[in-house]
Amino acid sequence: MARDRPPLRLPRVRRPPLEPLELYTAKSGDEIIDQLYNFTDKGDRSVALCPEMTPTLARLVAAPERQYKKPIKWFSIPQLFRYERQQKGRLREHFQFNADLFGESDPAADAELISLLIDSLRAFGLTSHDFVIRLSSRNAWQEFFVKRCRDSAKAGEFYQIIDKLEREEPAKSNARLAALGFSLTEVADFIKAGQPSAELNSILHNLALRGLSDFVKVDYNVIRGLAYYTGVVFEAFDKKGAFRAIAGGGRYDHLVRVISGGKVDLPGLGFGMSDVVLAELLKERGLLPQCEARLDAFCLIEDETLRGDSLSLIQSLREAGYVVDYPLVPAKADKQFKRALEAKASYTIKLERAPAGEIVVKFKNLRTREEKVVNPENVAGEMA
Amino acid sequence: MARDRPPLRLPRVRRPPLEPLELYTAKSGDEIIDQLYNFTDKGDRSVALCPEMTPTLARLVAAPERQYKKPIKWFSIPQLFRYERQQKGRLREHFQFNADLFGESDPAADAELISLLIDSLRAFGLTSHDFVIRLSSRNAWQEFFVKRCRDSAKAGEFYQIIDKLEREEPAKSNARLAALGFSLTEVADFIKAGQPSAELNSILHNLALRGLSDFVKVDYNVIRGLAYYTGVVFEAFDKKGAFRAIAGGGRYDHLVRVISGGKVDLPGLGFGMSDVVLAELLKERGLLPQCEARLDAFCLIEDETLRGDSLSLIQSLREAGYVVDYPLVPAKADKQFKRALEAKASYTIKLERAPAGEIVVKFKNLRTREEKVVNPENVAGEMA
């Protein structure tokens, strides 16, 4: 991003880490409980530490007292929890960037959301050589399914098999597919053909207009595990295929209706991006942002009779916005200087009494090791 | 703060919202459990949603595998939980800014911490007319206590009475004090005399050198409720006395030793500032930062044959760092313009086909209502 500016002020959603357990069982059944960090609280309520943000958002947009303007575009960065064994790229606790859009069923909304995901990853310095969005469609898979199977109750199980296809032994997948009346070959052929549906074509065209074609491809291997997806689904992957999915999302046009008990019907779509895989990828590519503590100046206090004047200068520099540290108590000169280096200070400043009695500042650039003598009131100007 | 610069990068501590219950009972006894949102988890562990950050920090600095350089200066902004009825200025859930310093017992560290609290409040635009730090000392109170009572086991109860003095009926306080062998009169005289202890004088002198005397006063009414404080304690209050304490803190030189089971002994001190009272005060003073969604431009799409070119321009503006919105699907011109106004866009941009066939942009400043026609490639320049 070319322009240097303050953080964007977009509608950010914050909420408590707890939700009623039924928010998750309502849409996924009781089997979801195994994966939740749930408990009974002091008030005898069944609650869970949030495993994902989407049901919470669906609950919030459905609140009848809120007259949110549509379309609603929200982001959030919740801390989320799973009750399961830790794996590489999948921890029991993680932060997840969520972006969601409610109130628009047109594929233009899907394209808008996917372009946000692409731009978010590019903001970290990742390029089309680093990642790709694999775009798929539950609708296309549903069409495939209903053409071959009339028992719609089996659709969920079928999607689960497709979701595991890339991670499971082909023989095992084939056996599970055969039990539903499908063959692995016809499934593989459908994936290989990768014929974009009308909605996928619309999204691809929209992204092409934005110059983002290099970042996206149709790939029916993607179907997403969660039950609530209804339309387009997608996952972002590193191009080397060395990591788990960086991000994933899609349409969930029925979720608000289910969660509001039929009171509110609002199409929705969104994606989540966990800090875990993203950080692994950025680290591997040398793109992890440096979050080291930064120090503009370390004030050396070698003459304790000048501590008061030093504190006064330090305070004025801090009020001018500089980060300044100093030894809280008397310390040896070499120990102080070592501390300034450890803290990666840009400068050291040291008050001294000049022969004529006035106080001067020895001002040293720790990168160039250049040193000069300045008046106390000119120190801020020297650092600017 | 005069200088416009990126957010400071200081050591920030993040941690899960859960802690083992014994982290709190170890230092405060089982009676603390009434105030905690605690439960037994699926692994049959007794845990609690964090009620405060200090024990967690004490646990972290005591971790033997970490060789943190001393003094340690950390900040954190945890989400904290209490299991109690909500009151004005005191919610069951809140965010709290914490700043802590470990490894220095000299009052210079107390002064450094208190100056940070003053500067943090000033950063919101509050002045010495708005707030004051009431400075007190557990040591001074302890001296008062041992001179008059030889049963040190009663000290905790005595501190509890002092802590409630300003909120409780005098007759009730007097009765409780009398039961311990004290009179309300001698306590009131001690508070009224307000004779600063040596450590308080040292802190007052240090703050005076920084030009911060106007922000602090000695007030022995303050003693802090928590059991772990050992030395200087303080609370920040609005000067009108209309709100609860804005922030509070002090020294807890034994806490790391207690929590580490005697393995690590490190003096510590810190303060916490909740978002609840701070937000109430800032709101009352008209100083609450505006966190509204901000939009640089809204792109009106009235000619649908220009949607593709509009998307291309929107993408290039976003890549240049501007916040731009647009109608996802065809909409009436007046509805689009209304949306631009509602979103408080600075500008509207609208692509049009000029008579000669080329595409031009109608660029309108929504504050001045000034409108001009520019080339698409010049829009970013017009907004800069």
CATH number, residue A379: 3.40.50.800
Question: Are residues A169 and A52 part of one domain?
Answer: yes
Instruction: Give pLDDT, residue A8.
Output: 46
Instruction: Give pLDDT, residue B2.
Output: 40
The two structure tokens encoding residue A339: 């501390």
Question: Are residues B189 and B81 part of one domain?
Answer: yes
CB contacts under 8 A, B 74-103 vs A, are 79, 83, 93
Final residue before a domain boundary, out of A253, A284, A315: A284
A336 touches chain B (CB under 8 A): no
The strand pairing partners of A292, in sequence order, are none
Q: What is the mean pLDDT of residues A16-42?
A: 86
Q: What is the mean pLDDT of residues A45-50?
A: 94
Question: Are residues A198 and A74 part of one domain?
Answer: yes
Question: Are residues A262 and A302 part of one domain?
Answer: no
Give the span between the Cα atoms of B242 and A155, in whole angstroms.
62
A115 touches chain B (CB under 8 A): yes
Instruction: Give pLDDT, residue B67.
Output: 78
pLDDT classification of B31: cutoffs 50, 70, 90: confident
Residue B253 maps to a domain: yes
Our CA-based measurement puts residue B145 at a distance from the nearest CA of chain A, in whole angstroms, of 31
Instruction: Give pLDDT, residue A65.
Output: 61
Domain that holds residue B271: 18-284
Give the span between the Cα atoms of A158 and A156, in whole angstroms.
5
Residue B1 maps to a domain: no
Give the span between the Cα atoms of B317 and B255, in whole angstroms.
54
Q: What is the mean pLDDT of residues A155-159?
A: 89
Question: Are residues A95 and A177 part of one domain?
Answer: yes
Question: Are residues A185 and A72 part of one domain?
Answer: yes
Question: Are residues A265 and A152 part of one domain?
Answer: yes
Q: Which of A3, A10, A104 sits opposite B328 (nearest CB)?
A: A104
Tens digit of pLDDT for each residue in B81-93? 988 888 887 788 8
Instruction: Give pLDDT, residue B10.
Output: 63
Question: Are residues B315 and B184 part of one domain?
Answer: no
Tens digit of pLDDT for each residue in A259-299? 999 999 999 999 999 999 999 999 999 999 876 667 999 99
Instruction: Give pLDDT, residue B25.
Output: 86
Residue B125 maps to a domain: yes
Question: Are A16 and B79 inside 8 Å of each other by CB?
Answer: yes
ipTM: 0.86
Question: Are residues A51 and A153 part of one domain?
Answer: yes
Residue B163 maps to a domain: yes
Our CA-based measurement puts residue B69 at a distance from the nearest CA of chain A, in whole angstroms, of 9
- Give the residue, A322 or A29, on which the prediction is more confident: A322
SS3 B119: helix
Question: Are residues B149 and B245 part of one domain?
Answer: yes
Question: Are B104 and A206 inside 8 Å of each other by CB?
Answer: no
The two structure tokens encoding residue B90: 């005191």
- Give the residue, A361 or B24, on which the prediction is more confident: A361
Q: Which of A40, A104, A314 sits opposite B329 (nearest CB)?
A: A104
Domain count, chain B: 2
What's the per-residue H, E or C state across chain A?
A: CCCCCCCCCCCECCCCCEEECHHHHHHHCHHHHHHCEEEECCCCCEEEECCCCHHHHHHHHCCCCCCCCCCEEEEECCEEECCCCCECCECCEEEEEEEEEECCCCHHHHHHHHHHHHHHHHCCCCCCCCEEEEEEEHHHHHHHHHHHCCCHHHHHHHHHHHHHCCCCCHHHHHHHHHHCCCCHHHHHHHHHHCCCCHHHHHHHHHHHHCCCHHHEEECCCCCCCCCCCCCEEEEEEECCCCCCCCEEEEECCCHHHHHCCCCCCCCEEEEEEEHHHHHHHHHHCCCCCCCCCCEEEEEECCCHHHHHHHHHHHHHHHHCCCCEECCCCCCCHHHHHHHHHHCCEEEEEEEEECCCCCEEEEEEECCCCCEEEECHHHHHHHHC
Q: Which of A109, A293, A342 sits opposite B11 (nearest CB)?
A: A293
Residue A353 maps to a domain: yes
Final residue before a domain boundary, out of A226, A253, A284: A284
Instruction: Give pLDDT, residue B165.
Output: 92
Tens digit of pLDDT for each residue in B135-166? 999 999 999 999 998 898 898 889 989 999 98
B212 touches chain A (CB under 8 A): yes
The whole-chain average pLDDT of chain A stands at 91
Residue B255 maps to a domain: yes
Tens digit of pLDDT for each residue in B316-332? 999 999 999 999 999 99
Q: What is the Rg, in whole angstroms, of the alpha carbon atoms belonging to chain A?
A: 28
Final residue before a domain boundary, out of B256, B284, B312: B284
Q: What's A56's domain CATH number? A: 3.30.930.10
Q: What is the mean pLDDT of residues A342-348?
A: 94
CB contacts under 8 A, B 120-149 vs A, are none
Determine how β-strand A295-300 pairs with β-strand A345-353: parallel
- Among residues of chain A, what percentage have pLDDT more than 90? 77
Question: Are residues B342 and B264 part of one domain?
Answer: no
Question: Are B109 and A17 inside 8 Å of each other by CB?
Answer: no
Q: How buried is A41 (Cβ within 10 angstroms: 0-12 exposed, 13-18 middle, 19+ buried)?
A: middle
- The answer, yes or no, to whether residue A33 has pLDDT greater than 50, is yes
Residue B290 maps to a domain: no
pTM as predicted:
0.88
**Among A39, A3, A339, which Cα is nearest to B48's?**
A39
Instruction: Give pLDDT, residue B349.
Output: 98
Question: Are residues A340 and A265 part of one domain?
Answer: no
Q: What is the mean pLDDT of residues B12-23?
A: 88
Residue B209 maps to a domain: yes
